Amino acid sequence: MMISRTMSIRALLFLGLFQAGQRSLASAPEVKDPPKRIAVVGAGIGGTATAYFLRQEFGAAVKIDVFEPGTVGGRLATHNMGDYEYETGGAVIHPLNLHMKHFLERLGLSQRRDVPGKMAIFNGKELIFEESDWFIVNFLRLLWRYGFNFLRMQMWVESVLDKFMRIYQYQQFGYSFTSVEKLLHAMGGDDFLTLANQTLEEAMLGEGFSQSFLNDVVAPVTRVNYGQSVRINGFVGAVSLAGADPGLWAVDGGNKKVCSGLLYHSKAELIPARVTSIAVKLRPSKAGITASLYEVNYVGDSGSAHSLYDIVIVATPLHQGKSDITFAGFSPPIPSQYPGRYHQTVTTLVHGLLNVSYLGTSEKPSTFSVSDVLTTDTKGSIINSLSSIDPVHIPPSYSRPPASESKVWKVFSPQPLSQEQLRDMFLSWDSTSETKWLAYPAYNPPHRRTPPFILHERLYYLNAVEWAASAMEMSAISARNLALLAHHRWNSQVGRIDQEDLHTRLRGEL
Ligand SMILES: Cc1cc2nc3c(=O)[nH]c(=O)nc-3n(C[C@H](O)[C@H](O)[C@H](O)COP(=O)(O)OP(=O)(O)OC[C@H]3O[C@@H](n4cnc5c(N)ncnc54)[C@H](O)[C@@H]3O)c2cc1C
Ligand SMILES: *[C@@H]1O[C@H](CO)[C@@H](O)[C@H](O)[C@H]1NC(C)=O
Ligand SMILES: *[C@@H]1O[C@H](CO)[C@@H](O)[C@H](O)[C@H]1NC(C)=O
């Protein structure tokens, strides 16, 4: 959050390796005719990254269709307010999210200029912590209150991140995994599986962190990032805490630009239609053996239609309220919706004047410069966070206005805010906008099995990964994994699927 963390040498090495952009070992000889047609369902960051990586794996000849009934970007979305555009969905990216960084570079996009901000924590009555401009002041305040919990948290998150970073090396060498559990295991062994199957609270109490530290510091972070308490799983909890690291960034012009860029770059065709069902069809092949094809049925502006594909990748959550796709003719059957639900987070943008007294502070609005107010998990708290936000593109002369001026605030809450609640928080406003998201899974470990990556022989499911953690980078990692997996399974290259001990085996390669 405030204390800068040193990047590990290994992470830096991977960064170098990664940006060289060349996969040295993975292009083995083709043993089979390439697929002719591939469908991707959904054009969020997951689907568009899949199209990009599929093109990389299968070459120029294969036809790739991407189905999307809504706006390209999915949960990466912006809203116009006044003269500017603001992020309403996925907003910030970690400095070590290497796929997102790579996309930016390949697409000629840049990072948005950084406008430094200050964080505070609100307990429903008053601000229990307020960041100062001075690093040493913050450090001493935290040390005074929480002892070494804070430093230990940074070390704990870094140790998780260090293992997490291994996935980039594996993918660089072309390795892929058939389940979320195997992917997690390859990164962090049994420790990661345990972490993903217990609550963050259990994991951190087990590591010796204090309950008051969990309540005052950790819960506000999980609330702003996932709208949920410290009872989310420990893996997504660590991802969430990494989201409080310094150096977070966003894409200049809006994060969703990455999605349209990847789509364009992949030379895939965008079909503006909603997929209604996917059926498996048997066809005689050249060799006389029957091969299965997938019939994708869809509805667009010009009515309904269907097309046949060799490979299909579903890149939208198969959950209540997120999509409703019927799978026909599969044995065992594939459900339209997997167990578990998505958690609602409402984004409210307000262009107006904040009532700073609402935060229980006696500071004058003209000097109140906190940009991010996180909240503790207290009974009756109606908001998860309140932030002063900047446009997706920062004009040259821009500086963040103080609270005494009308500006754009973003409130995350589990329920829509009533006019009364808005009146408590704001003195006045000239416009508001509300987006109700089914934002990320409701994480309640210990859990049943995570949904599968492989739904059928050549039918794959990207968003299974969200049950470990939901983030842009997680969808990108899943996209690369499925493009590799689809390629290796097509060509029967079992040597790059579910390999054990990769970390030890690849150490020599560096
Ligand atoms: C409020 C909010 C804040 C967040 N903050 C962050 C953050 O700061 N950092 C971060 O990394 N992540 C954040 N996330 C999470 C991140 O946005 C998601 O993990 C990521 O965008 C998921 O991308 P996706 O492509 O996998 O799914 P989606 O973006 O959901 O894409 C799925 C697409 O499939 C389409 N679709 C659905 N049904 C069909 C159908 N039948 N046929 C065809 N298409 C269909 C949908 O229209 C959609 O466009 C946040 C999310 C929310 C909601
Ligand atoms: C501002 O908030 C305080 C504290 O909640 C409240 O007492 C006051 O009435 C609010 N001011 C206005 C003008 O609404
Ligand atoms: C998670 O833990 C529960 C019980 O604690 C266990 O039954 C289940 O198999 C575990 N799941 C995984 C994926 O490890």
Which of 358, 361, 422 gets mutated to test ligand 2 (max ligand atoms within 8 A of its CB)?
358
Q: pLDDT tens-digit profile of 422-441?
A: 999 999 999 999 999 999 99
Q: Give 403 Cα–ligand 2 centroid separation in angstroms.
A: 15
Burial of 363 (0-12, 13-18, 19+ CB in 10 A): middle
Amino acid identity at 325? I
What confidence score (pLDDT) does residue 509 get? 65
What confidence score (pLDDT) does residue 371 get? 95
Q: Are 300 and 272 in contact (CB under 8 A)?
A: yes
Q: Are 296 and 302 in contact (CB under 8 A)?
A: no
Q: In which element (H, E) is residue 220 found? A: helix 219-226
Which residue's CA is the nearest one to ligand 3's atom 9?
Answer: 448
Q: Give 447 Cα–ligand 3 centroid separation in angstroms.
A: 6
Mean pLDDT of 30-43: 89
The dihedral of CA 473, 476, 480, 486: what is its sign?
positive
Q: Are 306 and 39 in contact (CB under 8 A)?
A: no
Query: What's the chain's average pLDDT?
Result: 92
Under 8 Å CB-to-CB from 246, ≥6 apart: which residues? Answer: 1, 2, 4, 5
Q: Give 83 Cα–ligand 1 centroid separation in angstroms.
A: 26
Among 19-33, 45-59, 242-256, 342-356, which is the least confidently predicted range? 19-33
Among 15-19, 222-226, 248-252, which is the least confidently predicted range? 15-19
Provide the β-strand partners of residue 284: 290
Is 422 close to ligand 2, i.e. is its CB under 6 Å away? no
Q: pLDDT tens-digit profile of 438-470?
A: 999 999 988 767 999 999 999 999 999 999 999
Q: Which ligand is nearest to the CA of 354?
A: 2
22 confidence band (pLDDT: 50, 70, 90): very low
Percent of the chain with pLDDT over 70: 93
Index of the ligand 1 atom closest to the CA of residue 275: 42
Q: Give 103 Cα–ligand 1 centroid separation in angstroms.
A: 17
Index of the ligand 3 atom closest to the CA of residue 449: 13
Q: Give 463 Cα–ligand 1 centroid separation in angstroms.
A: 9
Which residue's CA is the nearest one to ligand 1's atom 50?
Answer: 90
510 confidence band (pLDDT: 50, 70, 90): low
Q: In which element (H, E) is residue 306 found? A: strand 303-309
Which residue's CA is the nearest one to ligand 2's atom 12?
Answer: 427
Among 71-80, 136-145, 261-270, which is the least confidently predicted range? 136-145
DSSP 445-500: SS-SPPPPSEEETTEEEGGGGGGT--SHHHHHHHHHHHHHHHHHHHTT-GGGBS-S
* Direct distance between the N- and C-terminal alpha carbons of the chain, in angstroms, rounded to an integer: 31
CA 344 and chain centroid, separation: 15
Q: Are 460 and 482 in contact (CB under 8 A)?
A: yes
Mean pLDDT of 42-69: 98
Q: Give 264 Cα–ligand 3 centroid separation in angstroms.
A: 42
pTM of the predicted model, to two decimals? 0.94
149-164 helix and 9-19 helix, angle to the nearest 10 degrees: 40
Q: Are 34 and 118 in contact (CB under 8 A)?
A: no
Dist. CA 112–CA 391, nearest whole Å: 9
Is 291 close to ligand 3, i.e. is its CB under 6 Å away? no
Index of the ligand 1 atom closest to the CA of residue 67: 43
Q: Give 330 Cα–ligand 1 centroid separation in angstroms.
A: 27
Q: Give 200 Cα–ligand 1 centroid separation in angstroms.
A: 23
Residue 180: both structure tokens together: 């979320």
Percent of the chain with pLDDT over 90: 81
Is 264 close to ligand 2, i.e. is its CB under 6 Å away? no
Q: Give 75 Cα–ligand 1 centroid separation in angstroms.
A: 3
Index of the ligand 3 atom closest to the CA of residue 193: 14
pLDDT reading at 16 higher than 70: no
Dist. CA 167–CA 188, nearest whole Å: 10
Residue 29: both structure tokens together: 């000889």
86 confidence band (pLDDT: 50, 70, 90): very high
Say whether the peptide bond before residue 445 is cis (omega within 30 degrees of 0): no
Pocket around ligand 1: residues whose beta carbon is below 6 Å from it? 41-47, 67-70, 74-76, 89-93, 274-275, 315-316, 323, 325, 345, 347, 437, 439-440, 463, 470-473, 475
Under 8 Å CB-to-CB from 40, ≥6 apart: which residues? Answer: 47, 50, 51, 54, 64, 65, 66, 67, 268, 312, 313, 315
DSSP 187-255: HHHHHHHHHHTSBHHHHHHHTT--HHHIIIIIHHHHHHHHSS-TTSBHHHHHHHHHTTSTT-B-BTT-T
Mean pLDDT of 296-300: 98
Which of 192, 447, 449, 467 gets mutated to test ligand 3 (max ligand atoms within 8 A of its CB)?
447
